[in-house]
Amino acid sequence: MAESNETLLETPLTALHRRLGARMVPFAGYAMPVQYPAGIMAEHLHCRASAALFDVSHMGQAELVGEGAAAALEQLTPADVKGLKPGRQRYGLLTTMAGGIFDDFMVANFGDRLFLVVNASRKAEDFALIEAALPAGVRLRRLPDRALLALQGPKAAELLAPMAPDLAGLSFLGVAETKIAGIPAFVSRSGYTGEDGYEISVPCGEAERLAEMLLALPGVAPAGLGARDSLRLEAGLCLYGNDIDETTSPVEAGLTWTIGKRRRMEWNFPGAERVREELANGPRRLRVGLRPEGRQPARSHTPIHLPGGKQVGEVTSGGFGPSLNGPMAMGYVAPAQARDGTALELMVRGKPLAARVAPMPFVPHNYAR
């Protein structure tokens, strides 16, 4: 059952969203904008062509401080955290003892501390898991007093440059502690749209002022959860709870690149036995991209069948790709059906829809290298 509006949390930008005419929906316990008057299609295409501003303040932000913070985090993830250099950020996975994915996260090294961003729907569980693993002298400092904005698109860098000249020199996954128009900010050159751009963490009390300044720039438009979802799907990026969860291994999900080279020699992270076995002998299923024929999209939980035959998997995310001008999906199938070009059928409302396995990303990434 959907939460009532009275029980939903709000981000510091909720009043701004309403002034901009956003349609608000419940998401991860928050009232969040799913779209603005221009519509999801227009917001998506604007992000690909220029720059879009997203509110992602519902995400969990925290800092790990103290000597041994990186080693402590490595008890929970196969990512190489100790090898993360100051001024850099990395995507990682928290894994379970059974080899599933507890959550995915971003970790940045600011020199004197590690800065973490985790999913809104899992932040309480993630922070509790991390705190339980910390040795004496290492502390998790939650940051509920910070908002998070994502400025995404090919023009993001040139538009932001006059407000924060030092950010133009950041490469993809670079981080900096700086000021944007005088507002103190933690900034990473990253995002979840496949485009160039920045994620900007600022004090909650400054979030609306910064958002209004960014939206006043020529070429910046607001975008909601609907466009964020279609953009990340075109980019072949996983959504926790849909494409990855505690039943999914990093190998099945095609995320073995998150396992550091040193960690593959140590094999001392949660679930290492399963991961090692699947790398050696193959998993029972694999995440693949799918391109349905025609215009009709196949949504999450759509069964995947052999042509005229049995079910071999299920769609985990699906929709219409505005940049593709056609439908797209991702899901899990048996390894025998995972080769690009394999013909399959998606059972949409009981009727077979022809589709083929397709390489991801569906739209090339446009990161600043």
Q: Do 222 and 345 belong to one domain? A: no
How far is Cα 268 from Cα 260, in angstroms, rounded to an integer?
A: 12
Distances (CA, A) of 208 to 113, 121, 148, 214, 342: 27, 23, 11, 10, 48
Is 94 inside any structural domain? no
Q: Do 222 and 336 belong to one domain? A: no
Q: Do 230 and 337 belong to one domain? A: no
Higher-pLDDT residue of 7 and 81 is: 81
Tell me: cis bond preceding 361? Omega within 30 of 0 counts. yes
Is 242 inside any structural domain? no
Q: Do 218 and 315 belong to one domain? A: no
In the listed set 197, 212, 234, which residue is the last one of a domain according to the structure? Answer: 234
Is 261 inside any structural domain? no
The predicted-structure confidence for 180-205, as pLDDT tens digits, reads as follows 999 999 999 999 999 999 999 999 99
Q: Do 46 and 175 belong to one domain? A: yes
Give the dihedral of Cα atoms 165, 170, 176, 179; nearest 10 deg: 20
Q: Do 291 and 213 belong to one domain? A: no
CB count within 10 Å of CB 78 equals 26
Q: Tokens 């998506």 — which residue?
A: 44
What's the pLDDT score for residue 1? 35
Q: Do 343 and 220 belong to one domain? A: no
What CATH number has the domain bearing residue 327?
A: 2.40.30.110
Residue 292: both structure tokens together: 């349905």
pTM score of the predicted model = 0.96
List the beta bridge partners of residue 152. Answer: 52, 197
Is 74 inside any structural domain? no
Q: Do 295 and 174 belong to one domain? A: no
User: Can you list the alpha helix ranges (DSSP code H) found in the chain?
Assistant: 14-19, 40-49, 69-74, 123-132, 156-160, 204-215, 225-234, 261-266, 272-281
Answer for the pair 302, 344: CB distance below 8 angstroms, yes or no.
Answer: no
The predicted-structure confidence for 45-100, as pLDDT tens digits, reads as follows 999 999 999 999 999 999 999 999 999 999 999 999 999 999 999 999 999 999 99
- Domain extent for 14: 5-60+145-234
Q: Do 186 and 310 belong to one domain? A: no
The predicted-structure confidence for 201-255, as pLDDT tens digits, reads as follows 999 999 999 999 999 999 999 999 999 999 999 999 999 999 999 999 999 999 9
Is 105 inside any structural domain? no
Answer for the pair 214, 223: CB distance below 8 angstroms, yes or no.
Answer: no
